């Protein structure tokens, strides 16, 4: 059974599927999405595509955005 972060070798934080770094990145992502949504009414999936494509996005954030995007695709 793998209890690690799906994106790196670190241990998961309690109550999260991510480690402390990727969890922080996920929170940043959600905050950014809230800001963007107010201005642009962007869909979550489209927002993730933009984050992954943007050069300015941090590596941690890109990791998480990419991971979430893959899950969106699988979920249909």
Least Å distance between CB 21 and Zn ion? 5
Instruction: Name which of 7 and 42 has its Cβ closer to Zn ion.
Output: 7
Instruction: Name which of 10 and 45 has its Cβ closer to Zn ion.
Output: 10
Q: Does residue 5 bind Zn ion (CB under 5 A)?
A: yes
Instruction: Kindly report the three-state secondary structure assignment for every residue of the chain.
Output: CCCECCCCCCECCCCCCCCHHHHHHHHHHHHHHHHHHHHHCCCHHHHHHHHHHCCCCCHHHHHHHHHHHHHHHHCC
**Where on the chain is the footprint of Zn ion (CB under 5 A)?**
5, 7-8, 10, 19, 22
């Amino acid at each position: 059974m793998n209890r690690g972060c799906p994106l790196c070798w670190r241990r998961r934080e309690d109550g999260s599927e991510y480690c402390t770094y990727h969890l922080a990145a996920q929170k940043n992502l959600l905050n950014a999405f809230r800001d963007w949504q107010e201005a642009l009414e962007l869909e979550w999936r489209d927002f993730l595509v933009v984050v992954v494509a943007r050069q300015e996005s941090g590596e941690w954030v890109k990791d998480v955005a990419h991971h979430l995007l893959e899950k969106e695709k699988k979920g249909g």
